[in-house]
Structure 1
Amino acid sequence: MALPPVPLVSLLQKCWRLCLLAFLLGGPAYGAAQSVVFINPGRSSEVYWHTASEAMESAARSLRMSLEVRYAERNPLQAIAIAREIAARPSGSRPRFVILSNDHSVAPEILRTLEAARIDSLMAFSGVPDSQRDALGRPREKFRHWLGSLEPQAQEAGYMTAKALIEAARESRIVGGKDGKLHMLAIAGDRSTPSSLARNEGMRKAVAEAGDVLLEQEVYGEWRRDRAAEQMRVLMLRYPEARLVWSGNDDMAFGAMDAWRARGGSPGRDGFFSAINTSAAALAAMRSGELAALAGGHYLAGAWAMVMLYDYAHGRDFSSEGLELQRPMFVLVDPLLIDRFEQRLGAPHKLLDFRKYSKVLNSRLKVYGFETDRLLR
């Protein structure tokens, strides 16, 4: 016996429901539109950059996007080579988007490469400094496939850690130099990465406001623990009155502390250290008192960039908030905040549902909530 024909309206309704489900879940029908490659500027063994990649992978799983992470191993030439390899792939194998960080000022060459291949890109973590503005212009102008950027407010990180470091030294009533001032050393990241330079600017602002602090010397540790330890050994001999050490990340702070201990010192008692990056080791050092100041939360910048690209791929352009976004992703982690930070942000792959931050999936959401203090609340 022949089955009765299915009404055309019923078939169309069923097709519409399946398409809508694929859209909401990011299924196969939208897989190609949501493929991303992240050119990670750090080392694969580096805690911060590995954590940043983990957060991006969490966002990708949450939003049903595909993510490929390629590490440049702190080699700017390798970052450019990765971009060229991506652009040389057959058209069917190219990603829809590339996320990059402008570490060591690699953006001009990478953007030129991706533009020629017509691959859309988004900068995260580090954007465009004034020195590159003439060469790059603004997003979607000279490079039409450069969609924009998302940066943490890095200057604030340098400022808040330096200020907290100075206050901790004052409260301890540590003996200053013969001039009555607190003598500080600064171990910065590198000379060209925008976020590194912004942290330094924030640190200098805090020193200038303090009035009773002398910044003896600022060196560049290239984000490395071993290099910072080597530099610190020389600086301690050169500036014996220095008791404060500001560092641009946690690895360099640990290197400076290694050198301080090797000389017989005790971090947190006769020397005061600050760091940026909330690694497990940094949180433990803050809890023990070895670190006097710590800021972090910015490792989520890449995950937030994934949210922006998810919305862009589904027709919701982030341009309504601007093309070069900066958000206050840094928080100062004091001893009272450590437990909350570990509970809420210590395992982003387990605790954060990135779907809640998408405008496409939350029609009432008008402004992206990428501020770290919101997550802690």
Structure 2
Amino acid sequence: MLKALCQSLCLSLPLAANAQAASVVFLNPGLSNETFWVGYSRFMQAAADDLGLTLRVEYSERSAERALNQARALLKGPQRPDYLVLVNEQYVAPEIIRLSQGTGVKLFLVNNGLTASQAQSIEAQPEKYAQVLGTLITNDEQAGYQMLHEMVALLPPSNEPVDLVAFAGVKTTPASQLREAGMRRALADFPQVRLRQVVYGGWNRQRAFEQAQLLLQRYPGTRLVWSANDEMAFGAMQAFEAAGRIPGRDAVFSAVNSSPQALRARIDGRLGVLMGGHFTLGGWAMVMLNDDAQGLPINRDGRREHSVPVLQSIDPDKARRWLKLLGRDDYGVDFRRYSAEGRPSDFQYPFLTSPVDY
């Protein structure tokens, strides 16, 4: 009997531990086979495993309607999570914030925060909307600015006009808007660079390929191709190659994202400029949510929204290092060392102020 009792107790311990673990659902706005968003979820899962959180990911497959339906089911259902992490892709956040009012589910925004007009509308009706625990957005505007600067630096010195075409993502996505704004700000520093056209490739390779074919016909002398993500950059490259032009030699290409294919393209020189690292933002949010679940303050500087410098320029050496880390389930990161647990009261999350190097 004693042996049976011990076995029963031992079997019940993991269940009790799991029952106490804070639960998180991430409404992933991307496609379930989309390299960036799948990698984003993987990094979040690595953080959850390290921190002892339970994480469930639901993909909206780039459909705002689907994201809202998923949110309704989660928030109105019998088994609500402790935390809901969402992205203001296609401006879905305000409605989800409204739906969460009174549910007890804590909300956290990543990558795309509320627009200024959305925030004003919500603040004007506090009884209608739940409070958002925190927001982590990336340094998108600075990344867009830095990309163009690094691209121009790769050109031979000349005062001759240089044609630029740009591939933005989606008009209703703040991250896309900010990256484009940074690129436009950088244009003021280079009067010789002529922005011929900005097109919205929807983050999609095939669409960017078709758009680039038309742009090449209109602007055959294009030497700079700025892209807000890697998939659009690869689509544009395909169009240039079909026209007999070699990326990295006949035109300078840039991209945002640190997918394995993008890292390899940076190593071989097809991508002259690559910004990446924003796939980590959800993992840092998990660190903060775990601290909140333990009763620790996470808005230690008095702010609920932070622009985090996760996007950084990736040179070939860094690309090689990151390729190795992407092959590891834990990404080589000890997430607990970034927690506020056991830290003095003036502790600040290190990832909020400087990029984490790998």
TM-score (norm 1): 0.86
* Residue number in structure 1 paired with 2:46: 58
Q: Deviations over 1:140-159 (max 9, x none)?
A: 88634421211111111111
Aligned-pair identity (%) = 39
* Residue number in structure 2 paired with 1:276: 256
* Residue number in structure 1 paired with 2:132: 146
* Residue number in structure 1 paired with 2:31: 43
* Residue number in structure 2 paired with 1:125: 111
Q: Which has the higher helix share?
A: 1
How far apart in 2 are the matches of 1:337 and 1:140?
Answer: 45
How far apart in 2 are the matches of 1:317 and 1:140?
Answer: 22
* Counterparts of residues 185-224 of structure 1 (less than 5 Å): 185-224=165-204
SS at match of 1:202: helix
SS at match of 1:266: coil
SS at match of 1:204: helix
* Residue number in structure 2 paired with 1:19: none
SS at match of 1:237: helix
* Residue number in structure 2 paired with 1:14: none
Q: What runs of 5+ residues in structure 2 fail to find an aligned partner?
A: 1-12
* Residue number in structure 2 paired with 1:111: 97
How far apart in 2 are the matches of 1:348 and 1:135?
Answer: 41
Q: CA deviation at 1:338?
A: 2.1
Call closer, same or farther: CA 1:41–1:343 in 2, change over 3 Å.
same
How far apart in 1 are the matches of 2:127 and 2:314?
Answer: 39
* Residue number in structure 2 paired with 1:135: 121
Q: CA deviation at 1:192?
A: 1.1
Is contact 1:341–1:376 with CA below 8 Å preserved after alignment? no
- Equivalent residue letter for 1:146: V
Call closer, same or farther: CA 1:52–1:181 in 2, change over 3 Å.
same
The counterpart of 2:145, out of the listed 152, 156, 159, is 159
TM-score (norm 2): 0.90
Q: CA deviation at 1:363?
A: 4.7
SS at match of 2:271: coil
SS at match of 2:27: strand
Is contact 1:183–1:242 with CA below 8 Å preserved after alignment? yes
SS at match of 1:94: coil
Q: Deviations over 1:267-302 (max 9, x none)?
A: 011111100001110011111111110000010111
Does residue 30 (structure 1) correspond to residue 20 (structure 2)? The answer is: yes
Q: CA deviation at 1:28?
A: 3.7
* Residue number in structure 2 paired with 1:94: 80
Q: Deviations over 1:290-321 (max 9, x none)?
A: 11100000101111111111111111121222
How far apart in 2 are the matches of 1:83 and 1:75?
Answer: 12
* Residue number in structure 1 paired with 2:7: none
* Residue number in structure 1 paired with 2:6: none
How far apart in 1 are the matches of 2:258 and 2:352?
Answer: 16
* Residue number in structure 1 paired with 2:219: 239
Call closer, same or farther: CA 1:318–1:371 in 2, change over 3 Å.
closer
* Residue number in structure 2 paired with 1:337: 318
Does residue 73 (structure 1) correspond to residue 46 (structure 2)? The answer is: no
Call closer, same or farther: CA 1:277–1:169 in 2, change over 3 Å.
same
How far apart in 2 are the matches of 1:140 and 1:258?
Answer: 49
State which drifts further: 138-147 or 253-262. 138-147
How far apart in 1 are the matches of 2:115 and 2:225?
Answer: 26
Root-mean-square deviation (Å): 2.3
Is contact 1:295–1:333 with CA below 8 Å preserved after alignment? yes
* Counterparts of residues 327-366 of structure 1 (less than 5 Å): 327-343=308-324, 347=328, 349-363=330-344, 366=347
How far apart in 1 are the matches of 2:37 and 2:126?
Answer: 28
Is contact 1:121–1:146 with CA below 8 Å preserved after alignment? yes
- Equivalent residue letter for 1:86: L
Call closer, same or farther: CA 1:123–1:338 in 2, change over 3 Å.
same
Call closer, same or farther: CA 1:229–1:332 in 2, change over 3 Å.
same
Does residue 261 (structure 1) correspond to residue 251 (structure 2)? The answer is: no
Q: CA deviation at 1:114?
A: 1.5
SS at match of 1:215: strand
* Counterparts of residues 242-321 of structure 1 (less than 5 Å): 242-321=222-301
Q: CA deviation at 1:246?
A: 0.2
* Residue number in structure 1 paired with 2:3: none
Q: CA deviation at 1:364?
A: 7.4
How far apart in 2 are the matches of 1:37 and 1:310?
Answer: 13
Q: What runs of 5+ residues in structure 1 fail to find an aligned partner?
A: 1-21
Is contact 2:98–2:128 with CA below 8 Å preserved after alignment? no
Q: Deviations over 1:227-264 (max 9, x none)?
A: 00000001111112211110000000000000110111
The structure with the larger Rg is 1
How far apart in 1 are the matches of 2:179 and 2:156?
Answer: 22
